[in-house]
Amino acid sequence: EPEVTQTPSHQVTQMGQEVILRCVPISNHLYFYWYRQILGQKVEFLVSFYNNEISEKSEIFDDQFSVERPDGSNFTLKIRSTKLEDSAMYFCASRPYRDRSQGYFGPGTRLTVT
Amino acid sequence: SQKIEQNSEALNIQEGKTATLTCNYTNYSPAYLQWYRQDPGRGPVFLLLIRENEKEKRKERLKVTFDTTLKQSLFHITASQPADSATYLCALDSGAAGNKLTFGGGTRVLVKP
């Protein structure tokens, strides 16, 4: 069964550094998402992406964040200058156009900012 | 502001019994309500989706009800098994094109043999 994959599984970075989290969505999916989950807290929406542009973004998704689908297969989340509070699990998700379910979450990247 | 509440206390249940979880929401009119399972350190796994005009949905041992008047969904796991032990998340979908999901905090279920 097709899966969403994410790399790396764990990223440690120093405060102020840039990080890029990578995702490979399921190949025929058209909507792509990033969510995050701070330890012990809710899964929070960051951004949705369709037709090579952002569909919706949350208040969390400020100017420090950006997304890109550079080559038709990868979907990346960049954090320009990481803060301690960016430490969280980051989940990528994708879905087909007609299917409202969003059951296609990746395994996540654990980001630790020191 | 929108609020989604799930019982934050863990639900301990004996194997074979039915687990019932609650999801309440305020200041929201979701077009769809979804339930996910999350194991520690893993991503959410989709279980069931129910539309605003549906009252009940079933899938194997799982059943979901949706009452838009009460602004509540109930999630049932019948004949529970130790393998059902996990955190269960409800998520609301406004139906907008972006399909943003708003998650509740989840309820941890522990099924004892």
Concatenated DSSP letters for B49-108? Answer: EEETT-SEEEETTEEEEEETTTTEEEEEE-S--GGG-EEEEEEEE---TT--EEE---EE
Percent of chain A with pLDDT over 70: 95
User: How close A103 gets to chain B, by Cα (Å)?
Assistant: 4
Chain A residues bordering chain B (beta-carbon distance below 8 Å):
4, 31, 33, 35, 41-45, 48, 50, 55-56, 58, 89, 91, 93, 95, 100-108, 110
Contact A43 B89 (CB under 8 A): yes
Contact A31 B93 (CB under 8 A): no
CA distances from residue A54 to A32, A75, B26 in whole angstroms, order as listed: 9, 12, 27
Collapse the DSSP code of A5 into the 3-class scheme (helix H, G, I; strand E, B; otherwise coil) and give the result.
strand
Q: How far apart are CA A93 and CA B93, in angstroms?
A: 14
Phi, psi of A61 (to 5 degrees): -80, 80
Contact B101 A102 (CB under 8 A): yes
Q: Region of B37 please: left (phi>0), alpha (psi -120 to 50) or beta.
A: beta
| pLDDT given at position B16 | 97
Residues from chain A that touch B103, judged by Cβ atoms under 8 A, are 42-44
pLDDT bucket at A99, cuts 50 / 70 / 90: low
The average confidence (pLDDT) of chain B is 93
Q: How far apart are CA A106 and CA B8, in angstroms?
A: 25
Mutate to test the interface with B, among A6, A100, A104, A110 (most CBs of B within 10 A): A100
Residues near B50 by beta carbon (within 8 Å), at least 6 away in sequence: B32, B33, B34, B56, B57, B64, B65, B66, B73
Token pair of A108, please?
A: 């996540």
Closest CB to A106 among B43, B96, B106: B43
| pLDDT given at position A72 | 79
Contact B34 A95 (CB under 8 A): no
Mean pLDDT of the region A6-29: 96
Residues (pLDDT < 70) of chain B are 97
| pLDDT given at position A34 | 97
| pLDDT given at position A113 | 98
| pLDDT given at position B97 | 67
Residue A81 pLDDT exceeds 70: yes
Residue type, position A43, single letter: V
Q: How far apart are CA A48 and CA B103, in angstroms?
A: 15
Percent of chain A with pLDDT over 90: 78
Contact B97 A101 (CB under 8 A): no
| pLDDT given at position A102 | 62
User: How close B31 gets to chain A, by Cα (Å)?
Assistant: 10
